[in-house]
């Protein structure tokens, strides 16, 4: 299947995106996205917050129908560049965040983020929304929440010729580690309470 951006450019997945994700977290086989979706379902069921994963807007333009039950999408386009992964409302405040995983034990590459995502985070912060990233080191199963303002600083450092990744030590210093739990699995709103209360 061929997917294109709104400008017609063909979408080519990065090495990480093209591999099927089958990470093991204590034999749970859960990805960061699955853990966050489960956590958001817990928040919703308990009337704590309404936060959902944003669907990626895709326009299908070519489909093969060998049989009605076996339709195959052959060509599709991203309607617009995606912004961040999740958004919603918590305690009357707009929340908007991106989720990223890395196999590295020491840093997360800034190339994992896209310019339009950085601009979106900047706009959310400018409108007094709460914007952040959740980063999981998949090999050590450590999860960090990094406020958007710090991500913007690291991005600007890279644009000015500096380091092209965020070191784990910097996440420890500027971010907040989220211990994994059961209900919810990733209680990131507890960290938001610590930051904004």
- 186 lies in a domain? yes
- Quick: pLDDT tens for 86-111: 999 999 999 999 999 999 999 999 99
- 133 lies in a domain? yes
Structure tokens at 40: 């958001």
The burial class, CB within 10 Å (0-12 / 13-18 / 19+), for 20 is exposed
- 95 lies in a domain? yes
Cβ atoms within 10 Å, residue 84? 21
Q: Compute CA 139 distance to the chain's CA centroid, rounded to the nearest angstrom.
A: 18
The boundaries of the domain holding residue 157 are 27-55+81-196
- 76 lies in a domain? no
CB 59 within 8 A of CB 76: yes
Query: CA–CA separation, 67 vs 69, rounded Å?
Result: 5
Provide the pLDDT for residue 1: 60
Provide the pLDDT for residue 2: 64
CATH of the domain at 91: 3.40.1350.10
- 67 lies in a domain? no
Mean pLDDT across 186-193 = 96
- 102 lies in a domain? yes
Q: How confident is the model at residue 28 (pLDDT cuts 50, 70, 90)?
A: very low
| Residue where the block lists tokens 């994963």 | 53
Provide the pLDDT for residue 69: 74
- 72 lies in a domain? no
Q: How confident is the model at residue 84 (pLDDT cuts 50, 70, 90)?
A: confident
CB 102 within 8 A of CB 68: no
Query: CA–CA separation, 32 vs 166, rounded Å?
Result: 18
Cβ atoms within 10 Å, residue 189? 20
pTM for the full predicted model: 0.75
What residues form the annotated binding site for Mg(2+)? 83, 85, 98, 117
- 62 lies in a domain? no
What residues form the annotated binding site? 83, 85, 98, 117
- Structural domains of the chain, count: 1
CB 84 within 8 A of CB 97: yes
Q: How confident is the model at residue 122 (pLDDT cuts 50, 70, 90)?
A: very high
């Amino acid at each position: 299947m061929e997917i294109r951006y709104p400008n017609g450019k063909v979408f080519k997945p990065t090495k990480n995106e093209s591999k099927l994700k089958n990470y093991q977290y204590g034999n749970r086989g859960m990805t960061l996205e699955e853990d966050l979706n489960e956590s958001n379902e817990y928040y919703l069921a308990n009337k704590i917050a309404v936060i959902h994963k944003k669907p990626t807007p895709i326009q299908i333009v070519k489909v093969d129908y060998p049989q009605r039950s076996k339709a195959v999408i052959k060509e599709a386009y991203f309607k617009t560049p995606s912004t961040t992964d999740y958004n919603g409302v918590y305690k009357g405040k707009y929340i908007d965040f991106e989720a990223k995983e890395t196999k590295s034990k020491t840093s997360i590459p800034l190339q994992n983020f896209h310019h339009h995502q950085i601009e979106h985070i900047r706009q959310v912060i400018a409108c007094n929304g709460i914007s952040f990233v959740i980063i999981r080191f998949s090999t050590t199963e450590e999860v960090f929440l990094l406020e958007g303002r710090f991500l913007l600083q690291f991005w600007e450092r890279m644009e000015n010729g500096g380091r092209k990744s965020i070191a784990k030590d910097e996440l420890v210093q500027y971010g907040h580690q989220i211990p994994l739990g059961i209900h919810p699995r990733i209680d990131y709103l507890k960290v938001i309470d610590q930051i904004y209360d």
